């Protein structure tokens, strides 16, 4: 069984060209570097996890006011927790950078049906234990 990480950013006005470019750059960099983080994890099934991981996609033009949204599948729950944790942490780091790029947007992030709140003092989405 797989879980999904859902994300949505909303505000009255759309992305500027600079914001769109910055977001695209971040997403492309994080999609490239996920493999490196998984390979560094101490587990023999890293190659399988890499194969099961989806790229992060940031869509525009959703519901009225949504400027960025999407969902990414988190690797199969039967895989070792350490590798799932690497993947979740990687995408949460990206979402934190996107939040800082679009600070005036209202963000909603959910993992496995549970809301992941933004912690202003840490400048990150707050997962338990992170």
Assigned domain for 17 exists: yes
What is the total count of domains within the chain?
A: 1
- Judge contact between 109 and 91, C-beta under 8 A: no
3-state helix, strand, coil in the chain (%, to 5): 40, 25, 35
The continuous run of DSSP H or E covering 33 comes out as helix 17-40
How many Cα neighbours within 13 Å face the side chain of 84?
Answer: 16
Where residue 77 sits, what CATH number does that domain have? 3.30.70
- Whether residue 118 is contained in a domain is answered as yes
Instruction: Specify if 55 maps to a domain.
Output: yes
Kindly report, residue by residue over 88-119, the tens digit of the pLDDT: 899 999 999 999 999 999 999 999 889 999 99
Are the C-beta atoms of residues 23 and 58 closer than 8 Å to each other?
yes
Q: Is residue 22 part of a domain?
A: yes
> Within a domain: residue 43?
yes
Domain assignment present for 12: yes
Please give the residue range of the domain that contains residue 33: 3-125
Is 0.85 surpassed by the pTM of this model?
yes
Write the pLDDT tens digit of every residue in 53-68.
788 999 987 888 999 9
């Amino acid at each position: 069984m797989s879980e999904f990480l859902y994300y949505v950013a909303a505000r009255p006005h759309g992305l500027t060209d600079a914001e769109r470019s910055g977001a695209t750059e971040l997403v492309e960099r994080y999609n490239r570097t996920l493999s490196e983080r998984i390979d560094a994890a101490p587990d023999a099934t890293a190659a399988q996890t890499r194969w099961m991981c989806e790229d992060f996609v940031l869509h525009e033009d959703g519901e009225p006011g949504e400027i960025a949204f999407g969902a990414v599948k988190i690797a199969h729950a039967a895989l070792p927790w350490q590798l799932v944790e690497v993947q979740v942490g990687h995408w949460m780091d990206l979402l934190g950078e996107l939040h800082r790029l679009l600070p005036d947007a209202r963000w909603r992030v959910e993992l496995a049906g549970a809301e992941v709140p933004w912690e202003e003092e840490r400048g990150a989405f707050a997962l338990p234990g992170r």
